[in-house]
Amino acid sequence: MKKVVLSGIKPTGIAHIGNYFGALKPAVEMANNNEYECYYFIADYHALNYIKNSKELQENTKALVCTLLAIGMDAKNIVLYKQSDVPEVTELNWILSNVTPKGLLNRAHAYKAKVEEATVNGQDPDALVNMGLYNYPVLMAADILMVNSNFVPVGQDQKQHVEMARDIAGYFNKTYGANFVVPKEIISKDLGTIAGTDGRKMSKSYNNTIPLFAPEDKLKKLIMSIKTDSSLPTEPKPLDSAVMNLFKLFATAKEYETEKAKYENGLSWAEAKTDLFNMMNNYLSPMREKYNYYMENYAEAEKILARGAKKVQAVARETLQRTRIAVGID
């Protein structure tokens, strides 16, 4: 029996270079490993807590689906699906919430951050908290337990959620007997924070992102806008600069060495940025073409999603049936 690997991502914005190297690339590498049975999904139920505009959610979802297909989530052995195509998870969410102590959810980082924010503002501690936020970890546990996941590859920020899924599986199994596989997180190695065009962490909240599939001319413009120091064109340039840090992500070891020598001997920022643009554009072009293709032929992407939904639904029904019997509501 192959081990089951599952992960997911929220459709909360247009994917940028930080998302790609921090979350998407590690996920696609793991999902492409034939030793595992792999599930990857678009967490649109979870996104409801962040996006309160239907059109925006639809557009984000479409762009994310095309992004995932473009980067290789269309491989044969990956079951790619939309969370909302498996409404069974919401029933499992309900069942699980009956064995989940409130105290466990009180400790969730995202909830605590909102309480802290409200308290600092002098508001009621729960002023910024809705039940979607509060129950977020239970729904995530349902995603994970539904397909009998052994491993859940996530970034450091999601570690606590997977630990909670493990705890919730434990509470259930203790109450009703062994029913759920107890999952384990796999934390992708920390690449450090990728900087945006202004030198701060690349993040959609800072408006400093380089979208993964920006058209060529926009990509060039964004790269040219990266903040640099005011050294002379002939002076050496620091290797720990936003321009070089990005270059390094896309370059082979050999390409990096060649560029490093240029930095050490001195080159203008305009030239360094042109080198970065060429490197990034070569790397991203084939994926960008695939992305544009799916954006224009979305029906094809939807077919892939429908196939994924069918496969995961079969597993979900089995898990749910077993769980309903375990609790006595079959």
Judged by CB under 6 A, does residue 11 bind ligand ADP? no
CA distance 28 to 67: 11
Neighbour count for residue 281 (Cβ, 10 Å):
15
Tokens of 257: 């060495």
Residues near 245 by beta carbon (within 8 Å), at least 6 away in sequence: 194, 195
- Tell me which of ligand ADP, ligand TRP, none is bound by residue 43, counting a contact when its beta carbon lies within the kind-specific cut-off of 5 to 8 angstroms: ligand TRP
Least distance in Å: CB of 314 to ligand ADP? 29
Size of the site for ligand ADP (CB under 6 A): 14
Least distance in Å: CB of 18 to ligand TRP? 13
The site for ligand TRP (CB under 6 A) is made up of 6-10, 43, 46, 140, 143-144, 152, 154, 158, 161
Which range of residues in 15-23, 143-151, 176-184, 256-264 is near ligand ADP by CB under 6 A?
15-23
Residues near 54 by beta carbon (within 8 Å), at least 6 away in sequence: none
Tokens of 82: 């939309």
Judged by CB under 6 A, does residue 23 bind ligand ADP? yes
CA distance 328 to 3: 29
Which range of residues in 17-25, 104-112, 175-183, 308-316 is near ligand ADP by CB under 6 A?
17-25
Active site annotation includes 25: no
Least distance in Å: CB of 228 to ligand ADP? 19
Active site annotation includes 204: yes
Catalytic position from the list 62, 159, 204, 227? 204
Catalytic position from the list 112, 174, 201, 310? 201
**With respect to ligand ADP, which residue has the nearer C-beta, 16 or 166?**
16
Backbone angles phi, psi at 152, to 5 degrees: -130, 100
Active site annotation includes 184: no
**With respect to ligand ADP, which residue has the nearer C-beta, 190 or 229?**
190
**With respect to ligand TRP, which residue has the nearer C-beta, 44 or 259?**
44
Tokens of 144: 């994970």
| First and final C-alpha spacing in the chain | 28
Which residues between 151 and 170 bind ligand ADP (CB under 6 A)? 155, 157
Judged by CB under 6 A, does residue 109 bind ligand ADP? no
- Tell me which of ligand TRP, ligand ADP, none is bound by residue 143, counting a contact when its beta carbon lies within the kind-specific cut-off of 5 to 8 angstroms: ligand TRP
Judged by CB under 6 A, does residue 22 bind ligand ADP? yes
According to DSSP H, which parts of the chain are helical? Answer: 17-19, 25-31, 44-47, 54-71, 88-97, 102-106, 109-120, 131-134, 136-146, 159-176, 216-224, 242-250, 253-265, 269-296, 298-327
Among candidate residues 203, 144, 195, 204, the one with its CA nearest the CA of residue 168: 144
Tokens of 90: 């919401």
DSSP 3-state of 201 = strand
Amino acid identity at 305: L
Eight-class DSSP state of 211: B
Which residues between 167 and 226 bind ligand ADP (CB under 6 A)? 193-194, 201-205
**With respect to ligand TRP, which residue has the nearer C-beta, 63 or 140?**
140
Least distance in Å: CB of 244 to ligand TRP? 29
Amino acid identity at 112: K
Contacting positions for ligand ADP (CB under 6 A): 12, 18-19, 22-23, 155, 157, 193-194, 201-205
User: Which are the catalytic amino acids?
Assistant: 114, 201, 204
